Amino acid sequence: MNRRRVLQSAGALVAISFAGCLEGVQDHFEGGVQGIVPIEIYSEADQYYNVQLQAYEHETNRQTYDEGYSVTGGDSVIPPHLEATRQSLRVVKFGADGEEQADVREVTITPETELVLIWIYDDDLVLDVHRGDVDGAANETPTPPDEEDVEDDTADSDDPGTNGSEADE
């Protein structure tokens, strides 16, 4: 075998190996880069509260996130990030005794979601979801799951529809 044949064979092997490597890298990134959604919890309460965060995929109802925290008044917590996929985030604030559910809020997380802020008050639980600008969509501030169970204490408020929970835009 002469030197030219050996060099041609080696060149062909390098080209094939490099093509296989590129295909592997392309397959790795084919689905796109999946984002993350940071979560921040702030307590403006006078006492500590236990908070449970759970997320479920919309299509399969598979639980994708389950975290629990005890947040002292005036403190903040930065839990692990959520995946930026279509899922429901449910936040439960337990009462002062630690066993009774005081407040429950649920919001939808999408790939456009950029940040979830959770504010804990003695008498309320507020979720503020910041989304990227998608066709002028506004940020989402959830309402309690059962409107009938919520007392009408917004008569003294300047804007009864927001209950002081929407971010300024």
Question: DSSP assignment of the chain, as one string?
Answer: --HHHHHHHHHHHHHHHHHHHHHHHHHHHTT----EE-EEEEE-SSS-EEEEEEEEETTT--EEEEEEEEE-TT-EE-PPPEESSSEEEEEEEE-TTSSSEEEEEEEEE-TTEEEEEEEE-SS-EEEEEEE--STTPPPB----S-GGGS----TTSSSTTTTT-SPP-
As a whole number, mean pLDDT of residues 70-84 equals 93
Please tell me the predicted confidence (pLDDT) of residue 150: 38
- pLDDT surpasses 50 at 58: yes
Domain locations in the chain as residue ranges = 1-31, 36-149
Considering the chain, what is the average pLDDT of its residues? 77
Please tell me the predicted confidence (pLDDT) of residue 52: 94
Please tell me the predicted confidence (pLDDT) of residue 140: 52
Tens-digit pLDDT profile for residues 113-164: 999 999 999 889 999 999 986 554 445 555 444 444 434 333 344 443 444 4
- Six-digit token string for 129: 């979801």
Please tell me the predicted confidence (pLDDT) of residue 20: 65
As a whole number, mean pLDDT of residues 82-93 equals 94
Tens-digit pLDDT profile for residues 149-158: 434 333 344 4
The residue that leads in pLDDT, 101 or 34, is: 101
pTM: 0.61
For the domain bounded by 36-149, which CATH number is listed?
2.60.40.4150
As a whole number, mean pLDDT of residues 35-51 equals 93
Tens-digit pLDDT profile for residues 6-19: 888 877 777 777 66
Chain-centroid distance, C-alpha 16? 42
Spatial distance between the Cα atoms of 144 and 104, rounded to a whole number of angstroms? 7
- pLDDT surpasses 90 at 62: yes
Nearest to 164 by CA among 136, 137, 134, 126: 126
